[in-house]
Structure 1
């Protein structure tokens, strides 16, 4: 049986592209690429995700993590950025190039994607589609089932692997044709359009752009774990160089806590419910010769991050409940790696005029 490898975002268009090709008695294996900016949480439960896609759409999907090469590409994409910090053309080139290299691995003859001519202003113009095909090495191997009849026939069509007459000629930004096709397939539960990449969000994109600029100025590499923390809640870059992520809700608290790595500080109110926070010190902030597990309260107070710890505590209190703020002072417990507190600090909530410059 002929096999096609699909680039799968999880949205309606890529789902429909898979189903259109499957309808021609072609086996479709879908690959969902992961980076800190799209799909990162799926790596925490990959099998559940695969089962969900199989159950809802009948599609077999695998996950492939491209975090490190993606972070490198984002620093200087050859085709530039979109409206925000989104490298849409270079992103497509990277993902399609990786999919092309996977063809032999999965035993597939050609690639498919859910792109629609003219739907996206940056990456789905006719000329841009050709650039993506050329630079990814996918020319003639990449079939776009939803708009194929607006484009020249590809190798799988010419060789009779795919019946071109059963493909579609969707074009432009209207979603009506896709919704009608979804109804024909009995698909009524799908993600809303708009893309799942956080780099198209103006606020988050500016936060990531600023982090890239700061790390470049300091001569440090961009780390995936720092990017994930920056995308997890209220973010503050404290004067001592630490990053503070503060949960907004109970679910937000859990998201922030899930981004902890070895060496981070956990901050939580001792006697009240409220926001939880993760403080990530800058590199080299521990006393010489000490490991994270050896640090204690006395050494923490002597370390360069002491002032940032005090600021972080004040910020936790600033975003605590009304009762805490009216009380004027409260105690925040701090943990380092081990769950039991290694120290507790009592202070007043931070003043707005003080921390506004730290917000990211």
Structure 2
């Protein structure tokens, strides 16, 4: 069998780990790419060497990081296939990542793409007909192999060319994890992560907030997307105020503040920090909101604002 190199879309979950190990067991070199945006895997920004080292040590894969934030935020303005339950553009998210991975093939000299997807596992993006549609839209029909459910799908070019032995692929289906757990045991993989709670964009509160910001601002910058994911928000046309709910959120607001923003807290009383992103003439309103969410200030007849230099 010919030696080949595969570019694996790597989420870090058990399925993507197994997909890589299945192909590695056939003698293929696995390059694992992790796409990052403010909404997922953002903690790996600027840590490419560390990511590569971790994957080499744990799985024998080469690790790559690609930041697709700008394209993703542009997509969120008006996703062609719409949002899911909240602000999750699941189908268009998958299309974007596969398209970017396809564009990387010549750069990394890989022969084909792979994912850890399983037919029927995700209700929005992993139904058989939707998977075919995503392949077509991303331009990856025939070059995308899904090792864990390949036997339930038509043979791909890597299989037809003999780069991959179809008999050594799998026919997993549905949302159950027992087949994956058994396969993990065969590979000696014991420290895989538990199933995640889902994409942060499916959170109803965050989803509603993001949609409101997108409607009012026409789009979000990377920093604005980061800000939207934590804290207590007050959003109206021409006004955006964020309060930290915990000390680490207060610190994060100060880290993300930029010239033109205003940072406040109530003078002399422990409590939340407020970042005023929009609405520069609203200091009195900020004071009233801060007082409402600062327990030790609520009963006081008057409190003073202290402005913090970003």
- TM-score > 0.5, shorter chain as reference: yes
1:18-97 matched pairs, under 5 angstroms: 18-43=20-45, 45-97=47-99
Segments of 5+ residues of structure 2 without an aligned counterpart are none
SS of residue paired to 1:128 = helix
Q: Using CA pairs under 8 Å that are at least 6 residues apart, name the structure with larger relative contact order, 1 or 2.
A: 2
For the Cα contact (< 8 Å) 1:12–1:191, is it kept in 2? yes
1:212 to 188, 203, 214: 214
Alignment correspondent of 2:285: 311
Q: Please point out which of 260, 264, 267 is paired with 1:263.
A: 260
For 1:3 and 1:61, the matched residues in 2 are separated by 13
1:169 Cα deviation from its structure 2 partner:
1.0
From 237, 241, 246, give the equivalent of 2:243: 246
Deviations 1:18-59 (A, max 9, x none): 121112221111111122222223215444444444444443
Alpha-carbon deviations, 1:261-308, whole Å to 9, x = none?
A: 2322222344233222322125xxxxxxxxxxxxxxxxxxxxxx22x2
Residue 86 of structure 1 and its aligned partner are, at CA, apart by: 1.6
Question: Counterpart of 1:225 in 2: which secondary structure?
Answer: helix
What are structure 1's unaligned runs of at least 5 residues? Answer: 283-304, 338-360
Q: Tell me how far apart the structure 2 counterparts of residues 46 and 232 of structure 1 sit (CA, whole Å).
A: 25
Shift of 1:328: 5.0
Residue by residue over 1:80-136, the C-alpha shift from the partner in whole angstroms, topping out at 9 and shown as x without a partner, is 222222211111111101100100000100000011001111111111111111111
Q: Distance in 2 between matches of 1:190 and 1:236?
A: 39
**What is the TM-score normalised by the length of structure 1?**
0.79
**Counterpart among 120, 128, 131 of residue 129 in structure 1:** 131
Larger radius of gyration: 1
Q: CA RMSD in A?
A: 2.2
Aligned mates of 2:293, 2:242 — CA distance in 1: 12
**Structure 1 Cα separation of the partners of residues 70 and 270 of structure 2:** 37
2:297 aligned partner: 324
Q: TM-score, normalised by structure 2?
A: 0.90
Greater mean alpha carbon deviation, residues 133-142 or residues 59-68: 59-68
Q: Which residue of 2 aligns with 1:234?
A: 232
